[in-house]
Amino acid sequence: MSYVNMEAILENARKNHYAIGAFNIVNYLTAKAAVEAAEELGQSIILQTSVKTVKAFGINEMMGFLKPIVDQAKVNVALHLDHSTDVAFTKACIDGGWSSVMYDGSQLPLEDNIRNTKEIVAYAKPKNVTVEGELGAIVGVEDDIFVKEGDKAHAKPEDCRVYLEKTGIDAFAPAIGTAHGVYKGEIIIDYDLFDEINQFSSCPLVLHGGTGLSDAMFHQLIALGASKVNISTAIKIAYCQGMAIFTQMHPDQNDPLKLDAFTKEEVKKVVTNHIRFFSLMD
């Protein structure tokens, strides 16, 4: 079966010390590019959709064009909702056919985050949908969630223990110093904290803010237990730059299919490079 939730693919990655790439796709072209890249490498993949993207298309419309891609894929594909802060919208995507969701209550007090995450887990489990949760504050902009530098807060191990135990989530994203978007200053990652959390975590860990991390950082974090690595900004850049490069190279070309074919290859290259790296093929 090609359409799966995150459980089996992340548990396998955790056990074998590699990571699955989770790529934020924005439309049919980027989804198809990502799945083709995974198929050519024979690796499982997670397609992620931000809430903003899902709202731009509509839940049913988006599932309408994604479902044939994931159903026909030659590798395992999970379709995951990224950073949903809205309980009702998260449930609507579960009903709409997503195989996995992230409920992001990280900006709430711990008790409220736990309560809402538990509600999502209780709703998702009977439908065989996996749930990712987050603690701490990941700096930067993802979707419509802004976290300023000064608001940065690493996840606290004692909170993580309570959160994991009480919620029963399937994947956990603790804030350890990585950021969404393009990194501006020095990247300071708390590797010890990541290691400590992984030692007691009942479920695989997720690394957010993948765009811009160095090979050495990825290697170290995957070695310490990152089983899912999120890449969003690099996909957006490849897509927009791909279109810009093509139109600059061919100013008189008016065939949208040629523009799409070129842009798709640019997106595919980014996905291929990351999957190769995360699955330790390089």
Q: Cα(123)–Cα(132) distance, rounded to whole angstroms?
A: 13
Which pair of structure tokens corresponds to residue 249? 């190279």
The verdict on 82 binding ligand 13P (CB under 6 A) reads yes
The verdict on 228 binding ligand 13P (CB under 6 A) reads no
Q: Cα(151)–Cα(139) distance, rounded to whole angstroms?
A: 7
Residue that the structure tokens 């300023």 belong to: 148
The verdict on 209 binding ligand 13P (CB under 6 A) reads yes
**Residue 107: how many CB atoms within 10 A of its CB?**
13
For the question of residue 260 being annotated catalytic, the response is no
* Ligand-binding site membership of 214 (annotated): no
The verdict on 230 binding ligand 13P (CB under 6 A) reads yes
Of 126-134, 190-198, 216-224, 232-240, the window that binds ligand 13P (rule: CB under 6 A) is 232-240
Shortest Å distance, C-beta 74 to ligand 13P = 26
Angle between helices 215-223 and 191-200 (to 10 degrees): 30
Site for ligand 13P in 137-156 (CB under 6 A): 142
Of the pair 92, 187, the CB lying nearest ligand 13P is at 187
Which pair of structure tokens corresponds to residue 16? 């074998």
* 145-147 and 140-142 strand pairing: antiparallel
* Ligand-binding site membership of 272 (annotated): no
Of 85-93, 156-164, 231-239, 270-278, the window that binds ligand 13P (rule: CB under 6 A) is 231-239
The verdict on 133 binding ligand 13P (CB under 6 A) reads no
Q: Cα(30)–Cα(219) distance, rounded to whole angstroms?
A: 26
* Ligand-binding site membership of 181 (annotated): yes
Can you say which residues are annotated as belonging to the binding site for dihydroxyacetone phosphate?
A: 181, 209-211, 230-233
